[in-house]
Structure 1
Amino acid sequence: MIAGTASAMPLGETEHLQILAACLPQWTAGAVSQDRPVLVIVAGQPGSGKTTIAELLHAALSARGGAVRISSDLYKAAHRKYARLRERDIRTAGAGVRADTRLWQAEVEEYARSARLDVVLELALADPAEIRAVSALYRAAGYRIELVVLAVAEAVSQLAVLKRFFTPDADGGGRYIAWDNQDGCATGLPKTVALVEAERLVDRVMVVRRGLEPLYDNELVGSRWLRPEAADSVLEAERLRPWDGPGTRIFRRELVRAEVLVHDERLPEDRRLAVSRDAERAAAAAEPLRRVAQPLPGPPGTGYHRLSTDEHTWIFDELIASTFLRKTVFRPDPLVVYLVAEPGARSLEAEWMLRRAMRPGTVVLDPRMLSGSHPDYCQLVLDQPRIASEAVRPDAEAWQNEAETYIRERRGDLIIKSAFADVAQFAASAARFARAGYRIEIAAIAARATDSRQRTLIRYVRAMELDVHIEFPTPAAHAQACAVAADIVAAAAADPAVSAVRVIDGDHRTLGHGHWASWALAAARRRPYTSPEAAVFHAAQRALHRRLPHLRDELDGLAAQAQPLMPPAWRVRQVESRPRPAYLPVPAALRLSSPAAVL
């Protein structure tokens, strides 16, 4: 309540009791007496979704004959002064009728206990004294008490309060929740939940998400809990859980809608002013949890897959460094080898060859490993396999830089499988290793672009046969990777800090090194097909057409790209064009001057 803006307006005792007598049958309709009645308490800060969950539980208890829903908000409409208070100041209207609504709630609860009715009770659970009193009263009446706690991030509940404020309801409009009330309930809830378990005030405690997805369930058997007491820690962990991409997208969309409502001049000015800063407050509360927006090359154009700083750091420290980098071995003369290849160029076999050739303890930085550490990557591969890596690239690139720093500080040998977006990224990475005293070598795999691109499609088909989902690049992304690989080889050959540049084929035979590396790579990519190679290529094309009919245009483009390198027998022949037959000239004596001459 905002101090000094309004005072409580309680009804007279007679009028209060008359309203209670008139409304009590409606407020308790459908409930029947039970031999072993149940109280279900739905707890959470304002905006957490207590009303929705209470409605679901109330419907579920209909299997026992029905129950009574109890909440002081349900009784505001019965107060004759509530509408006038809302017109005067919507921010203090609730406080103006609080004395009567709280008293009605207590009287309805007393009636339900005396009639042994099942009860669904909504509480903010911010006050330990309140839950102690409720537990004592209902246990004395022979009730089994169950507590359902909603674990909802404060940003989400703040935004829900704002949306509800602009949503008309049965009593003429949404309810206003002051910031101190919102913050007090959010802060006090975990402490009260811990007290409930410690003092065994209920028979069962559940912590759930908004959709009733269970996170924690503990039941009192005799005088002991079945599991260690942890409801408060589960509640806090869920509140602070970093959001995923879809969750961030939904929050952002709802936030934009709320901001539109806040600035809608068609609404009364006092309603807009009351919550003019609430949207910004919700956005600020979401900052530590939400993903960062980033542009995407394809639809929907914007992705929310950039991790928050805390989540990004946690994944590197707890997953990447401790799993993939922990076997680093110190070397007085460390070596870093960049394995440069476009997708489909048989880099896996080359990686195995390099591992066998290098010293024990060599660490391999694989871009697929880094991308796979992103919590959204697997779902992206299912939904958008062609841009999955692009969607998580910002975090993957940052992890690669951090992993390179981790290895350099420990002076370990390293193989880096190139996935640089451009040659500038490679140059920056190589310069850092050069300053750290590393020997730098480049191993580039030469393959025709058509062959490597076809292999990505073959690998995708084989994965489909095994019911495994993998990503595969778009033609544009593959062409970009080929161009970057050529640029890296050219830059490395001209860089004095690079000790060796070697170009190999798929069978690991050296094609060129040093200053001849760029020429060898270009020559290998333009090498014409032999007849057996052409036969294998076209056989694979036919198989791909059968398995990937939805990519027919892409496969036709791949075949057209390979045409200039095909032997004459395998090239598409041009259809001979013959001249159209010409009409013979008609003698002048036989020409008709007009159609009438025929007649």
Structure 2
Amino acid sequence: MSYIPLSTEKINNIAEEFFLNKINKNHIQRQEKPILTLIAAQPGAGKTKIADHIKQELKQKGGYIHVDADRMREEIPNYAKYPSHVTQADAGKLVNTLRNLAKEARVNIIEEGTFRDSKSLSAFLEKNKQLGYHVEMVALAVPREQSLLGIYSRFEKQKEAGVNARFVPPDYHDNAFNGFRETVKSLENKFDSFRVFNREGQLLYDAKNKGENLTASDVLEKNLISTAEEKIFVLKQMQILKEKAQVREGNTPYIEEFERVIQKEREKRKTTYSFRKKYKSLI
């Protein structure tokens, strides 16, 4: 069965019903100075966990609307029958409509994303500040290797659950990772507030308490470095996931690509180890 895109009227009706239900159910209050919190990190970093922490904060400040494409996709009729890329455009339209409804009502908003495009984010940031929003970024410091494992782990769990699994290609992951880092470096001073957490929810940096020469980018970069032990653990876990997937699928292109990724990460670790051993006295 082919997917028929939703009409503009249907998009508006779905988003408005969702919005009003959240407002009434959770007693979300209009704010004189509403907060827009952007939770930023590369795919697979575990943004959902820190989002739960931010939600608890905003519950004490009048509530919030969580603007999330995956959640809005679930509002599309029979969404589970279609791969996520098929419904992506309509999910995006629902998100935009929901965001606009929240801003018109002047309520707090939470959004998650990679925010890898600093130019478009800068324009988005300024627009919302002009609308009277206090715009905060919460950046998640998770090493690349760990989030790379995260995208495979999430995909395999979704496969086991029998749902439409959403896979993020490693190249997309890496581009988002680098773009996210550049965004933090170039835009951190434009936000009204800025915090950095690690994956476990520990606060690593808060702009209001920063030291004289300390920046969010400095703290982020420092905490994006994996130890040798962490890299070994990631490789072992990726190998376990690949072997389980191979039992399910056989030697499919997905498995072949998975193996190439593992080999690539293994070579990176060897190169880093050799460099450190050779130049130990200099580093």
Fold conserved between structures, TM > 0.5:
yes
Mark the structure with the bigger radius of gyration. 1
Q: 1:278 is aligned with what amino acid?
A: F
Q: 1:167: which partner in 2?
A: 157
Where structure 2 has 5 or more consecutive residues not aligned to the other structure, the ranges are none
What letter corresponds to residue 132 of structure 2 in structure 1?
A: G
Q: CA deviation at 1:121?
A: 1.1
- Establish whether residue 20 from structure 1 lines up as the match of residue 15 from structure 2: yes
The residue type paired with residue 146 of structure 1 is E
> Aligned partners of 2:69 and 2:255: how far apart in 1?
23
Task: Call closer, same or farther: CA 1:175–1:310 in 2, change over 3 Å.
Answer: same
Find the counterpart in structure 1 of residue 135 from structure 2.
145
Q: Of 170, 173, 186, which residue of structure 2 is paired with 1:195? A: 186
- Identity among equivalent positions (%) equals 22
Measured at CA, do residues 260 and 191 of structure 1 come closer, stay the same or move farther in structure 2, by a change above 3 Å? same
Give the C-alpha shift of residue 42 in structure 1: 0.6
Equivalent positions of 1:245-260 (< 5 A) are 245=229, 247-248=230-231, 250-260=233-243
1:253/1:178 Cα in 2 relative to 1: closer, same or farther (>3 Å)? closer
Q: Which secondary structure does the structure 2 equivalent of 1:120 belong to?
A: strand
CA distance in 1, matches of 2:244, 2:63: 38
Counterpart AA for 1:75: M
How many angstroms does 1:171 deviate by?
9.5
2:227 paired residue number = 243
- 2:53 is aligned with what amino acid? L
Q: 1:112 to 1:14 in 2, by over 3 A?
A: closer
Which segment is superposed worse, 47-56 or 7-16?
7-16
Q: CA deviation at 1:163?
A: 1.0
Could you tell me how far apart the structure 2 residues matched to 1:101 and 1:42 are?
19
User: Aligned pair 1:40/2:43, yes or no?
Assistant: no
What's 1:211 paired with? Answer: 200
Counterparts in 2 of 1:173 and 1:8: CA distance versus 1, 3 Å: closer
- Cα distance 1:85–1:260, how it changes in 2: closer, same or farther (>3 A)? same
* Superposed counterparts of 1:54-73, under 5 Å: 54-73=51-70
* Distance of 1:84 and 1:10 partners within structure 2: 14
| Matched AA of 1:77 | E
User: Are the aligned partners of 1:166 and 1:173 in contact in 2 as well (CA < 8 Å)?
Assistant: no
User: 1:308 and 1:216, CA in 2 relative to 1: closer, same or farther beyond 3 A?
Assistant: farther
Higher helix fraction (1 or 2): 2
Summarize the alignment of residues 368-517 of structure 1 with structure 2, pairs less than 5 Å apart: none
The equivalent of 1:232 in structure 2 is 217
Aligned twin of 2:265: 285
**Which sections of structure 1, spanning at least 5 residues, go unmatched?**
1-6, 87-92, 293-306, 319-599
Q: Report the Cα offset of residue 275 of structure 1.
A: 5.6
Q: 1:127 to 1:104 in 2, by over 3 A?
A: same
User: Pairwise CA RMSD of aligned residues?
Assistant: 3.3
Distance 1:186 1:142 in 2: 30
CA positional deviation for 1:249: 5.5
- Written as runs of structure 1 = structure 2, the 5 A alignment for 1:520-535 is none
Please report how far the alpha carbon of residue 84 of structure 1 lies from its aligned counterpart in structure 2 after TM superposition: 3.6
Q: TM-score, with normalisation over the residues of structure 2?
A: 0.82
The separation in 2 between residues aligned to 1:212 and 1:249, in whole angstroms, is: 23
After superposition, where does 1:286-365 map in structure 2 within 5 Å? 288=268, 308-312=273-277, 315-318=280-283
Which letter does structure 1 place at the counterpart of 2:215?
Answer: A
Mapped partners of 2:279, 2:186: distance in 1: 31
The aligned length equals 279
Alignment check: 8 A CA contact 2:145 2:231 kept? no
Tell me the residue number matched to 1:49: 46
Q: Which residue in 1 is equivalent to 2:87?
A: 97
